[in-house]
């Protein structure tokens, strides 16, 4: 590993490679939130913080365990100390100091890495309900940002309409002092414009992978070209360091393909979240079949190596992950974030 990598970043990468943590006897925490969106849907998770780093781990059987010590929490790896004096966060709304709300779960699409449509719980939050959640959270917690995600309801239009209605209502009730990020599936430039015009500050449109063969296999209902076109348009509307996109690492793609795609996004002014793949149990067979058995959680070395190379790309294009005010670059829990972790 290159010498510029701090020990703490290496430890975060090792925790990300594993993705799970178990709770030792005697560890009592506030109720853990169960995610409803993406590959983590259905899992209970917590955040471990150390040396300025934050990592989100799902709670399950794991060689890493959270233990209670007289001076706080520590993380052990197979019984020996891995991290001392860690802080543990169990935020009620998905992310520390941020209100990240999933507006809906029924989905017309069938992305092979996503557990949301398989959750067995179907809900669609009405704008008024979201406003009450926000009101209550603002009264009770320190909230620096709001993030809104949703499934694809009957159509792209339907989901964008719901997101727009929610953003509009939140702006009307709570003003413009709190940043709002939105994460829609969107391919039409006019929908991007609409979300911006109602008051969204940042947007995430997920490309998922730059490997076209894998994209077709794992996102059978999505259009790769139209996602890229929407991202390019969004960068001109929302501006620099306000448009991002999830890129999954571990679907069987090569680093070469990934870095070429990342350069292309950077030229557009779009910043990517390099997200280690988690294979949901409910999708395991489908995902392995769709990727020809190549889907796997990436190693710590690969996670770090890509983050370091991507940092150079971002620096070259004047893009800054730390300028984002909402969503994953604000949180940093699920990946090694260039310019923040390394
Ligand atoms: S569009 Fe794909 S990733 Fe999004 S909720 Fe539906 S199945 Fe999941
Ligand atoms: S990095 Fe993104 S997906 Fe992960 S916990 Fe934070 S906000 Fe959620």
CA atoms within 13 A on the CB side of 210: 18
Using 50, 70 and 90 to split pLDDT, how confident is the model at 3? low
Q: Whose CA is nearest to atom 2 of ligand 1?
A: 111
| Across 25-38, average pLDDT | 82
Mean pLDDT of the 108-130 span? 91
Domain assignment of residue 254, yes or no: no
How much is the pLDDT for 226?
98
Which ranges constitute the DSSP H helices of 212-279? 212-218, 224-238, 255-268
Least confident of 39-53, 55-69, 137-151, 250-264: 39-53
Residue 258 CA to ligand 1 center (angstroms) comes to 21
Ligand 2 atom at minimal distance to the Cα of residue 45: 5
- Digit-coded pLDDT (tens) for 127-162: 999 999 999 999 999 999 999 999 999 899 999 999
Burial class, 10, CB count within 10 angstroms (exposed 0-12 / middle 13-18 / buried 19+): middle
| Average model confidence (pLDDT) across the chain | 95
100 within ligand 2 shell (Cβ under 6 A): yes
Evaluate whether residue 29 is within a structural domain.
yes
Instruction: Tell me whether residue 190 is in a domain.
Output: no
The Å distance, Cα 285 to ligand 1 centre, comes to 17
240 is a domain residue: no
Using a 6 Å cutoff on CB, does residue 328 contact ligand 2? yes
Domain total of the chain: 1
Q: Yes or no: say if 29 and 14 are a contact pair by the CB < 8 Å rule.
A: no
Residue 84, domain member (yes or no): yes
Ligand closest to 119 (CA) is 1
- Predicted confidence at residue 37, as pLDDT, reads 80
Boundaries of domain holding 72: 7-89
- 41 C-alpha to ligand 2 centroid (Å): 12
Whether the pLDDT of residue 2 is over 50: the answer is no
**Residue 23 Cα to chain centre, angstroms:** 23
pLDDT above 60: residue 67:
yes
């Amino acid at each position: 590993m290159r010498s510029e990598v701090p020990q703490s970043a290496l430890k975060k990468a090792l925790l990300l490679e594993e993705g799970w943590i178990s709770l030792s006897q005697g560890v009592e925490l506030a109720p853990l939130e169960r995610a409803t969106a993406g590959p983590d849907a259905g899992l209970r998770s917590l955040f471990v913080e150390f040396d300025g780093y934050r990592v989100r781990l799902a709670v399950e059987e794991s060689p890493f365990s959270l233990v209670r010590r007289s001076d706080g929490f520590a993380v052990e790896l197979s019984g020996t100390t891995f991290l001392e004096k860690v802080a543990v966060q169990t935020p009620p709304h998905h992310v520390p100091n941020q209100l990240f709300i999933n507006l809906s779960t029924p989905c017309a699409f069938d992305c092979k890495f996503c557990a949301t449509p398989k959750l067995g719980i179907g809900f669609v939050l009405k704008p008024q309900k979201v406003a009450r959640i926000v009101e209550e959270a603002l009264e009770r917690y320190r909230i620096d940002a709001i993030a809104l995600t949703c499934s694809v309801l009957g159509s792209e239009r339907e989901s964008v309409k719901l997101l727009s209605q929610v953003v509009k209502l939140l702006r009307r009730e709570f003003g413009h002092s709190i940043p709002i990020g939105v994460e829609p599936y969107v391919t039409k430039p006019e929908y991007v414009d609409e979300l911006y015009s109602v008051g969204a500050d940042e947007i995430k449109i997920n490309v998922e992978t730059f490997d076209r063969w894998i994209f077709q296999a794992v996102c059978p209902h999505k259009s790769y070209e139209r996602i890229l076109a929407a991202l390019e348009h969004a960068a001109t509307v929302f501006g620099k360091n306000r448009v991002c996109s999830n890129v999954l690492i571990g679907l069987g793609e090569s680093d070469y393909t990934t870095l070429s795609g990342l350069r292309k996004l950077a030229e557009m002014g779009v910043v990517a979240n390099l997200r280690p793949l988690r294979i949901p149990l409910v999708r395991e067979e489908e995902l392995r079949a769709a990727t020809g058995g190549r889907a796997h959680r990436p190693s710590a070395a690969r996670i770090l190596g890509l983050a370091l190379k991507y940092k150079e790309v971002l620096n070259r294009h004047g893009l800054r992950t730390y300028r984002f005010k909402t969503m994953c670059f604000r949180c940093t829990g699920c990946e090694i974030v260039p310019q923040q972790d390394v």
